[in-house]
Amino acid sequence: MKINWGTGIAIFFSVFVLSLVYQVYRSTQYDHSLVSDQYYADDLRYQEHYDKLANAQSLEKDLQIRQPKPGETIEIAFPAQAGEAKGEIYFFCPADKSADFRLPVKPMGDGVQRVPVEGLRPGLWKVKVDWEAGGKSYYKEQDIRL
């Protein structure tokens, strides 16, 4: 079967249009949500965040975020040098925004706050601790794997 130039052009444009329609359909199936809904306000608060990081680095003993054994509680050890701590712990799951949660900073008498991991989604989590002690603000972020 011999195809003339008119038929070839029609086949080419038909395939081209069908591939564009397919790409438009696929792009509507993709989740375009942002990591943070308030990205502009977050950007304006960057200097405060930088100061908190500098304060945290100036501590003799840094805040420790550890998980002694897989499947057990996560321990957040606040340095005794800073004094009584208050603030917020944010558990951020990059894979699922609906799994994120926040906890208030409430260390026990030994300066360690324990967070149970039962019911948490397995995978990568970012633990973000934004806390105040002794009149200064501090920030520490660490990745953990459950």
pTM assigned to the model: 0.67
Residues 101, 64 contacting (CB under 8 angstroms): no
Q: What is the maximal distance between C-alpha atoms in the chain?
A: 87
- Residue 82: its pLDDT value, please? 64
| Residue ranges of domains in the chain | 1-32, 39-145
Residue 140 in contact with residue 62, Cβ under 8 Å? yes
Q: pLDDT at position 35, please?
A: 67
- Per-residue tens of pLDDT for the chain, all 146 residues: 788 999 999 999 999 999 999 999 998 888 767 667 777 887 888 888 889 999 989 888 888 998 877 777 899 998 877 678 889 999 999 888 888 999 999 888 888 899 988 888 888 999 999 999 888 899 999 999 88
Domain covering 39-145, topology = Immunoglobulin-like (2.60.40)
- Report the half-sphere exposure of 36 (CA within 13 A, side-chain side): 7
- What's the pLDDT score for residue 104? 93
Which residues does 107 contact at the CB level (< 8 Å), separation at least 6?
Answer: 76, 78, 85, 113
Q: Cα-atom radius of gyration of the chain, to the nearest Å?
A: 25
